[in-house]
């Protein structure tokens, strides 16, 4: 898959995770997307947490018109950072999580370090 209009944060296996567990984490985190601005301090905070947790999360530049519209229409507001979570744990629907502290707390709880 080409990452021409968006990036993906991908990092080495988190220390303490078994290879099997890391594969599970990689698969689950690929269902997430972070809408962000490159220089936004709150977005930077979330990207650092993603790196620290060793997650594979798609980055969507919210300056691009397509992602601006997607974030506004589907997420309900044009605000970053915003984590798109699909599918939800019950297997149905999409959730939009705003606020850097809430996003980081969600990621730390869903993908705890060993």
Backbone angles phi, psi at 99, to 5 degrees: 80, 120
DSSP secondary structure of 84-99: EE-S-TTSS--EEEES
What is the pLDDT at residue 87?
77
Domain ranges of the chain: 6-110
6-110 folds as Glutaredoxin (3.40.30)
Instruction: Please say if the pLDDT value at position 114 is more than 50.
Output: yes
Higher local confidence (pLDDT), 9 or 106 = 106
Tokens 């709150």 belong to 42
Give residue 8's pLDDT band: very low, low, confident or very high (50, 70, 90): low
**More confident site: 77 or 92:** 77
Tens digit of each residue's pLDDT (9 = 90 or more) over 17-46: 889 999 999 999 989 999 999 999 999 999
Q: What is the pLDDT at residue 7?
A: 53
């Amino acid at each position: 898959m080409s990452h021409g209009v968006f990036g993906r944060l991908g990092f080495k296996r988190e220390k303490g995770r078994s290879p099997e567990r890391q594969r599970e984490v990689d698969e689950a985190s690929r269902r997430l997307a972070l809408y962000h601005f490159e220089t936004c301090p709150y977005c930077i905070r979330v990207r650092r947490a993603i790196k620290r947790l060793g997650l594979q999360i798609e980055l969507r530049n919210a300056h691009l018109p397509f992602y601006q519209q997607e974030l506004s229409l589907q997420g309900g507001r044009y605000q970053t950072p915003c984590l798109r979570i699909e599918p939800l744990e019950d297997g149905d629907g999409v959730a939009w999580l705003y606020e850097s502290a809430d996003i980081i707390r969600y990621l730390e709880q869903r993908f705890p370090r060993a």
